[in-house]
Each structure stands twice: as structure tokens, then as C-alpha cells.
A and B are shown apart, each in its own frame.
Chain A
């Protein structure tokens, strides 16, 4: 599914760059804007592509087990949305693999062979996904329910696998391993070491959990809105409860994994952590700053927790945290952007964790005192917050991804190759950017429109994709 979300290159301060690229940089700002934009688009669809099949299978399985028509209908509805999202995910992912060469031939020409393996493996996983998606969607009524359920499992497994492989490639850009540079030439390549670099474990786990959270909370928020509007039947309740429960279960794990990923940076990519936390000067007793603007000498106007960062990194106030002063100023990432993106992600993460705790508490109380989960006092507030949680999880996804990309600047391969050295020197990339923006704008409008139509439609054919088969019953 995620054809290439990771190997993003360099988002930079792209909205500004589109409007006024600094003179003499050629089309670098256009290339960064195009890559950033198409990745930011794809990453949302890709997360749905990883998470939605799991939700659909869950609904279908429960529907078969309980012989519940509402759950069965839910599974068919989600499968229809899945078909549309998979198609746009597949094509927007293909574009990314083109763009790796169209925009960053300098990177691919030299290091393509080093990061080729995870992409080849991702191709296989994606192939499996596409094959079984075809079978799952189109053969719904051609096989017994349990066998049909089985054909969905490879979609989920392959979706997780492709996310893993692609994020491994991105992790390599943060922790380049598995090659030796001799006189500017790549020699002694070890593709397995490149793929399984130190950044791979925290990054891949963080991304895969994020995919499940985004898919869960986005789906739950759709049904939260419907429930708020008074459609409180079993169908809408199940559509709310299944994804919300999955999201709530994943959220606490994600907080722990996020902490692991940040701690990893302290050891392996201290400049990124310094940019994230706005630490200019190496030292101990470093405070944790929330918010603020990057000034000449550090973050200004932020809320400071004394010794906070030192405690978080090493559990001791005298833990030394490396600052941005370890590298020349022209190699600093854009501190304010990275810092704010990180704070935003963490804030949303804790908001989602809070919702999960609320669910746990409500579940515990309904078990003791009886009654339905949504009949309790305050359930409207919970629904409103979950309605908000969908878009919020997307914000967290995009900002988290911005942290990893902006925080690596000015490098495309950390410490080895700069973004400037990787860009396509050909003229006219700006035109390509405008074309891409227009096509993606149209695709966005159409996708949202079609998904809304699917959500509102009343009749669903038995086989979700066979709209043309007239003799099938419609549920």
C-alpha cells in the first residue's frame, strides 16, 4: 500500500518555498514542495490502507460469529470505501516511486542500490496486497463466508509488511548504514545492514501503530458524527465502537513507542532531538520547553519545565543533552517548525490516550452498573471529542512525519548527502509541481465526494464492487 512514503525527501519550509524560492537554488524548492505534497497526501491514504482492512475484517468476523446483519452491512460498506482508497493509494504510491527518480536522481543514482532491497520487498508485499484485495472485494459472494474472511488476512499482513519495508528505507536516510564511500563512490554494499539500520525498529513500529490509530480514529469519528445526529441504531453504534476500541487499545502503546523513538534520537541523531526540543547549547539540567519561537540564543516565549528534558532523556537532572551547537549553523534544521510539529503530535497523542482512558472507565462502569456505553451522562461530549479525534489523528500523523523530515535537514541522507546535491538539475520542475498540485486537488475533491456518497448511499450490493450485477440481492 504505502508505495514509498518514507523515502520522502526533504519537506523543508515548503509552503513558503513555493511562493518565493531563494535565488540560485534552481528548482530545489519546487522539488521539495512536490515531494512533500505528494507524500503528505499519500501518507493519509496509506494509513487507511493499512488500518481499514483490519477494521473491515474485524467487523466481518464479528458479523459472522454473532450472525449480526448490522455488522455484516458495516463490513460491506467499509470494503467499498477500502476499494476506492486502495485505488487512490496505489496510484499515489506509484507516483512517489516515479518522483524518487524524477526529483531526486542524485540520491537514486548513487544510493539506489543501497536502499533498493526494502523497496523490492515492499513491491512483493504490495503485490500480495493487490491480489488478495481483488479477490476479497470481488469474490465476496462467490465463496463461503469463512473462506472469504481468510482471503482478507493476507491484505492486513501484507499491508503491515509494506509499511515496515518502506519505513525501513526512510530510516536508512536517518541512519545510513551498509555501504562504504570511497572517493565519492559507493563500495561494499550490504543491503541487509542498510535495511535493518538502527533507526528501523523505532521508526517502523511508530509508523505502523500510527497507521492503525489514524484509520481507527478517522472511521470512529465518521460514526461519532452520525450518532451525534441521532442515528443511534445498532449499525452506527458498531461503526463507532469497533474502530474506537481498536484506536483506544493502540494509543497507550504508541505513547511508549514514541518515547522510545525520541530516546533513540538522543543516542543516534542528537541534532534532530536538539531541533525538536529547541536545545541550542549542549549541557546538563536542560529544561523541557513547550511552545515558543526560535530566537538567536534559544527558544523564546515557551513554557519551561526545569530539568525536564534531562529527566526525560536520562532519568537524571544532570543528564547531558547535546545541543544544536554541535554542528555549524548552516546545518541546523528549521527549529521552530520541527519543535511545534513535535509538540502538536505529542499533544494529540495524549488527547487520544485520554479518550482511550475515558472508554476504559465507561466500559468498567457499565459492566458494574449495567446500561449501554452511549446511554451514560456525558456521552455526547465523548462523541464530540471522538468526532474531533479523527482529524486530530491526521494532524498528529502529518506533524510527526514533518518532524522526521524537517529534523533531518539539510540532509537527504543524514551526514552523507545534502538535499541540494540530490535534486534533478533539469529545468522546469516548477511546471511539474503545478501540474501535480492541480491533479491532486482534483483527486482530493473526487475522493472526498465519492467517500461521502458511499457513506450516505442506502443500498449496498452483496459483492461490494459488483455494482453491475443486477440479480444479486441488495442489503
Chain B
């Protein structure tokens, strides 16, 4: 029970990371394809305005997941990190390049600097989710055995399932970002740009669907255990994801941008939980289950109690953060009186 709770809390953290920070990565992808300095200026400003205040808080979900994994399932953390250190090092460097460059671009004034930092921000927004998705593929296809660096350093992440995971991660991030940005832009009153983002959201949504369909064949051949899980125990979640994905596209086409956020998030969350359900209770396919890997009950309960207390502080704070910046941002009423 304690083990399952810890696992569930970690998975909630992973879901939040995908839904919030994933969209920040996706925003970077759209920054990359926004076009030249003058044509893309409006979009880049919108993107910066939307993710600026929140990306650091969103990023903390990753630290949350990593720390929970090592505190509650230390052997899994050690095995994953040591075998998959190549894509994880690259993802880590991407995280550095993205976060630092985003902060630098915000305060630089000359075009060449904005271009340099902007390119670094946008490119690493594309590469980081790819490598993180590849890591997920390596774990899900059972290429990470228990122990230190027991898996193959190269094929553990250069394989069909990892490629699927990487591509799907990038597309999902881009889709989420486009959906979220629709509502942000529409609130600012720019219906034309909102429609442009809606078109991109639909295009990436369709691409996600196509890749997921192709993924069925890939998983059947490359990760039979995961395939079995997805087509049996996790099937309801897979169906939920597909249904909400399609519903989201309809909502986007009919310009229900706020509701589309919910369905898009649901589609992505259902994918993550279907992976978890398909693999449960095994954490490293073929070598380690959650109860085997779990830490001492005293550690699990200490972490869970701390997190429960932390949540009492965090949830109101997060509410304040999103509430402050999701209101109409430039109206007089919001500016405060004593400026």
C-alpha cells in the first residue's frame, strides 16, 4: 500500500512535469519555427510572456520526480541513471542551455544576442524532450536491467521504442504548447494568431495520433510485454487518450480553446498512466518490481508525510502563481493601485 502510494505520487509528479513543463518545451519548439526576427517577433513575445513567470516552477516537477525516484526506489534510479547516462547527460545539458538561454534572452537587447540565446533556447527545447522520451522508451522496452550500468550504453536508447518515445514526446510537447497558447493569445484579443496556433495544435495532434498508430506496430515487434499491457490491462486508458485527443481536435476547430486545454491534458496524462498501468508492478521490465525496489517503509512514510505537508504549502502557492498570471494581463484593474 505504502509502495503503491509512493509510486502513484511519483507518477502524479511525472504527469505534472509532462503537462506543465512539457508545454514550456513545446513553446520553445514553436519559438524555433516562428520565422525570421520581424515575422516571428509577435509570436516570440507571446511565448515569452506566457511561460516567463511559470517555467521555473514547472521545471521543479522534474527535480521532484528524480528525488522521489532515488528516495523511494533507489536501485531503479541507480540502474536507469548508470545505463542511460548518455541520453540523460544530453538531456541535462539541454536543460541548462534552455533555461539559461531563456533568461539571458529576456534581458538582452541586441538582435544578434537575442538570436543566439533564442536559437539555443529553441533548439534545446526540441532536443531535451526527445532524449527524455528516448529514456522512457529504453525503460519501457526493458532495456535497463537492475544493477550498475548493466544495460547496453548505446542500444538502451538507440532503439525503435526509444525513437518512438522521443518523437512522441516532442510532438506531445508541441501540441500541448499550441493548445495552451491558443487560449492565452485569444485572451489578449489576437484572434488571428489564436487561429494560427489552433491550426498548429490540430496538425501536431494529428501527427501525435499517426505516430501513436505506427507505434502499435513498433511496440508489437520491439516491446512485446509493454504491448501486451497496453492492449489488455491499460486498454481503457489508451482508449481514453484516443477519445480525448479526437475530442480536443474538434474543440480546437470550433474555437473552444479553454475546454481544449482540458482534453489535451487528459489525452497526454492518459498516455503516461497507460504506460504505468501496462508495466505495473514491474519497474525495470524483467528484473525489478516496485515492491522489490522500494525503500524501507520508514523512508517511504517520511517522504510521503513530508510531501503531504509540503502540498499544503505548495497548492495555495501554485494557485496564487497561475492565478496572478492567467488573469487578463494588461488591464488597468490588475495593475495595482500604489505603483
Contacts of B66 in A (CB 8 A): 97-98, 101
Q: Do A192 and B302 touch (CB < 8 A)? A: yes
A234 shortest CB reach to chain B, Å: 22
Tell whether, in the assembled complex, residue A117 and residue B95 are in contact, meaning their CB atoms are under 8 Å apart.
no
How large, as a class, is the contact surface on chain A? 35 or more
Once A108-B77, A143-B336 are accepted as A-B contacts, the answer to whether A98 and B96 lie under 8 Å apart by CB is no
Q: How extensive is the interface on chain B, given as a class?
A: 35 or more
| A131-B59 contact in complex given A116-B67, A450-B107, C-beta closer than 8 Å | no
Q: Which residues of A contact B117 (CB under 8 A)?
A: 446
Of the residues A117, A131, A143, A471, contact of B57 by C-beta under 8 Å: A131
**A121 and B306 within 8 A (CB):** yes
Answer yes or no: B82 CB below 8 A from chain A CBs: yes
Within 8 A of A (CB), among B37-67: 45, 48-49, 52-54, 56-57, 59-60, 62-64, 66-67
B339 touches A126 (CB 8 A): no
Minimal beta-carbon separation of B201 from chain A (angstroms):
23
Contact B85 A426 (CB under 8 A): yes
Q: Is B272 an interface residue (CB 8 A)?
A: no
Determine if B63 and A126 form an interchain contact, defined as CB atoms under 8 angstroms apart.
Answer: yes
Residues of B78-110 at the interface with A, using a CB-CB cut-off of 8 Å, are 78-83, 85-86, 88-89, 91-93, 95-104, 106-109
Answer yes or no: A304 CB below 8 A from chain B CBs: no
Contact call B74/A116, Cβ cutoff below 8 A: yes
Q: Contact: B85 with A154, CB < 8 Å?
A: no
How far apart are the CA atoms of A90 and B103 in the complex, in Å?
A: 11
Q: A116-B72, A139-B324 are in contact. Are A432 and B63 (CB under 8 A)?
A: no
B148 within 8 Å of A (CB atoms): yes
Q: Which residues of A contact B153 (CB under 8 A)?
A: 426-428
- Are B63 and A134 within 8 A (Cβ)? no
Task: With both chains docked as a complex, state the minimum distance between the C-beta of A110 and any C-beta of chain B, in angstroms.
Answer: 7
Residue pair A119, B104 in contact (C-beta under 8 Å): no
Q: How far is the CB of B277 from chain A (nearest CB, A)?
A: 25
Question: Digit string of B291-304 for contact with A (CB within 8 Å is 1, else 0)?
Answer: 00001101100110
Chain B residues with CB under 8 A of A424: 81-82, 85, 148-149
Which of A94, A105, A134, A450 is the one whose CB lies under 8 Å from B148?
A105
The 8 Å CB contact of B70, one of A106, A112, A128, A186, is A112
Whether the Cβ atoms of A120 and B67 lie closer than 8 Å is yes
Which of B72, B83, B89 has the most C-beta atoms of chain A within 10 angstroms of its own C-beta?
A: B89
A197 contacts the other chain (Cβ, under 8 Å)?
no
Is there contact, CB below 8 Å, between A109 and B96?
no
B contact face: mostly helix, strand, loop, or mixed: helix
The one of B52, B63, B70 in contact with A101, judged by C-beta atoms closer than 8 angstroms, is B70
When C-beta atoms are compared, the residue in chain A nearest to B303 turns out to be A120
A465: chain B residues at CB < 8 Å are: 52-53, 106
- Does B33 count as interface, using CB distance less than 8 angstroms? no
Partner of B307, one of A94, A124, A186: A124
Known: A3-B63, A116-B72, A192-B302. A105 touches B296 (CB 8 A): no
**Alpha-carbon distance A188/B298, docked complex (angstroms):** 8
Name the interface residues of A421-449: CB closer than 8 Å to any CB of B. Answer: 424-429, 432, 435-436, 439-440, 443, 446-447
Give the Cβ gap from B7 to chain A, nearest Cβ, in Å: 14
Identity of the chain B residue whose Cβ is nearest the Cβ of A192 in the assembled complex: B302
Give the contacts of B135-156 with A (CB-CB under 8 A): 148-149, 153
Q: B338 near A145 (CB under 8 angstroms)?
A: yes
CB of B337 within 8 A of CB of A112, answer no
Contacting pair A467 B107 (CB below 8 A):
yes
- Is A98's CB under 8 angstroms from B70's CB? no
Q: Are B70 and A468 in contact (CB under 8 A)?
A: no
Interface locus among A80-88, A201-209, A265-273, A369-377 = A80-88
State whether A144 touches B336 (Cβ < 8 A).
Answer: yes
Judging by beta carbons under 8 Å apart, are B59 and A90 in contact? yes
Please state if A117 and B100 are interface contacts (CB–CB under 8 Å): no
Cα distance A115–B90 in the bound complex, in angstroms: 26
Q: How many Å from the CB of B142 to the closest CB on chain A?
A: 18
Q: Per-position contact with B for A127-142: 1 when CB-CB < 8 Å, else 0?
A: 1101111110111011
Q: Find chain A residues with CB under 8 A from B62 CB.
A: 94
Q: Which residue of A lies closest to B46 (CB)?
A: A468
Q: Is A86 touching B56 in the complex (CB atoms < 8 A)?
A: yes
Docked-complex contact B148 and A425, CB < 8 angstroms: yes
Q: Of all chain A residues, which has the CB nearest B59? A: A90
Task: Tell me how far the C-beta of A340 lies from the nearest C-beta in chain B, rounded to whole angstroms.
Answer: 31
Which of B93, B99, B149, B335 lies in contact with A436, CB distance below 8 A?
B93
A368: CB under 8 A from chain B? no
Contact between chains at B78 and A106 (CB < 8 Å)? yes
Chain B residues, CB < 8 A from A249: none
Query: Would you call B321 and A432 a contact (CB within 8 A)?
Result: no
B320 at the interface (CB under 8 A from A): yes
Contact with A along B100-129 (1 / 0, CB 8 A): 111110111100000001000000000000
- A426-B313 in contact given A87-B56, A189-B296 (Cβ < 8 Å): no
A261 to B305, CA, bound (A): 31
Taking a contact as CB atoms under 8 Å apart, the answer to whether B74 and A120 are in contact is no
Q: How far is the CA of A90 from the CA of B62 in the complex (A)?
A: 11
Partner pick for B310 among A124, A189, A425, CB 8 A cutoff = A124
Whether the pair A98, B88 counts as a contact (CB closer than 8 A) is: yes
Task: Contact check, B53 vs A87: say whether CB atoms are below 8 A apart.
Answer: no
Minimal beta-carbon separation of B129 from chain A (angstroms): 15
**Taking the complex as formed, is B2 at the interface, i.e. its CB lies under 8 A from any CB of chain A?**
no
Is B27 close to A, CB under 8 A?
Answer: no
Shortest Cβ gap from A52 to chain B (Å): 14
Q: Take A92-B96, A94-B95, A113-B72 as given contacts and tell me if A189 and B88 are in contact as well, using a CB distance cutoff of 8 Å.
A: no
Subset of 27 A-B contacts with CB under 8 Å: A3-B63, A83-B103, A86-B56, A87-B99, A88-B99, A90-B56, A92-B96, A95-B95, A95-B96, A97-B63, A98-B66, A101-B78, A101-B88, A102-B81, A102-B88, A108-B77, A108-B78, A109-B77, A113-B295, A116-B70, A123-B63, A124-B306, A127-B60, A189-B298, A190-B298, A191-B299, A471-B330
Q: 3 smallest A-B Cβ distances: which pairs?
A: A116-B71, A101-B81, A109-B78
List 18 additional contacts besides A144-B338, A439-B96; criterion CB under 8 Å.
A88-B103, A98-B88, A101-B70, A101-B82, A102-B81, A109-B74, A109-B79, A119-B71, A120-B303, A123-B63, A130-B60, A131-B320, A145-B338, A145-B339, A148-B336, A436-B93, A443-B96, A447-B104
Interface residue ranges, A against B (CB under 8 Å)? 3, 80, 83-84, 86-88, 90-95, 97-102, 105-106, 108-114, 116-117, 119-124, 126-128, 130-135, 137-139, 141-148, 154, 186-192, 424-429, 432, 435-436, 439-440, 443, 446-447, 450, 453-454, 457, 462, 465, 467-469, 471
